[in-house]
Structure 1
Amino acid sequence: MILQSRPVTADDIKIICSFVLDARELFYMFPKAQYPLTEVQLADAIAKRFDSTVVEAGDGVVGFANFYRAETGGVCCIGNVIVAQEVRGKGVASFLVETMMALAFDRYDATEVQVSCFNENTAGLLLYPKLGFLPFAVEERVSPDHRRTALIHMRRGRAGGA
């Protein structure tokens, strides 16, 4: 599967919304959004964020992420990470996060990249350390079904690791 990245366009928004399978996944991707994810909610988030990026495989969009914080010479924080169900486990998330890291280090000359992952998001918790991210803080949050959950904050420096 050949992957490439590009900036998001308005035509991508409906496709990206279809990646979210249930309220739990939406909470992992975009905790402030209400399920189901609507084009208005996603477009609003894109307008407030930086470098919203899609991954394409063949003719189709299969992944999405952006920065919710992008400081030149400082910290870039990756958010809204989601991959289409049919390509999960096939390297798209790794390609997407590596693309965002390259943007952070090349475009913003970032000193570190951060990502946050909920404790129940097993796929994310297994992915991010493989890409050099190390945990540095845990924040208590409340899940959509009103349970306590942990948001694990991770970071990676330019050379890898914290």
Structure 2
Amino acid sequence: MILRHRPVKADDIKTICSFPLDAQELFYMFPKAQYPLTEAQLSNAITQRFDSTVVETGNSVVGFANFYRAETGGVCCIGNVIVAQEARGKGVATFIVETMTALAFNRYDATEVQISCFNENTAGLLLYPKLGFLPFAVEERSSLDSRRSALIHMTRKVP
């Protein structure tokens, strides 16, 4: 699978909205959104964020992420990470997180990149440390069904 990245375009929005398969997946990607993800919700988030990026293979968009914080010479925070179901387990998440991390270090001269992951998101918890992210804080949140949940904040310093 050959992967490429590029900035998101308006006609990508509908495709990205189809990636979260249920309310739980949407919660991991975008906790403030209501399931199902709508084009209006995603478009609004994109206008408030930085460097919204898609991953493509062939002519298909298969991944998405952006920064919800991007400080030149400071911290960049990756958010809205999601991979299409048919592309999961094929390196797309690694590619998008590495792409966003490189963008933070190269474009923003960031000193560190942060990413956060809910404790129920096993795939993310297993992936991010493999990519050099280390936990530094745990924040209590409410899960979709109002149970206690932990949002684990991780960081990767400039190499």
| TM-score, structure 2 as length reference | 0.99
Structure 2: segments with no counterpart, 5+ residues: none
Aligned partner letter, 1:4: R
Whole-angstrom distance in 1 between the partners of 2:18 and 2:11: 13
Amino-acid identity (%): 82
Displaced runs of 4+ in structure 1, greater than 3 A?
Answer: none
Q: Does 1:134 align with 2:140?
A: no
Taking the aligned partners of 1:96 and 1:158, their CA distance within structure 2 comes to 17
Q: AA paired with 1:33? A: A
What does 1:6-155 correspond to in 2, within 5 Å?
Answer: 6-155=6-155
Residue deviations 1:123-161 (CA, integer Å, cap 9, x gap):
0000000000000000000011111100000000111xx
**Equivalent position of 2:157 in the other structure:** 157
Deviation at 1:10, TM superposition (A): 0.3
Separation in 2, partners of 1:88, 1:123: 10
Cα offset, 1:97, TM superposition: 0.3
Question: How big is each residue's C-alpha offset from its partner over 1:2-23, in whole Å with a ceiling of 9 and x where there is no partner?
Answer: 0000000000000000001000
SS of aligned partner of 1:45: helix
Report the TM-score when normalising by structure 1.
0.98
Aligned counterparts of 1:128 and 1:118: Cα–Cα separation in 2:
12
One-letter amino acid of the counterpart of residue 12, structure 1 = D
Distance in 2 (CA, whole Å) between partners of 1:78 and 1:123 is 16
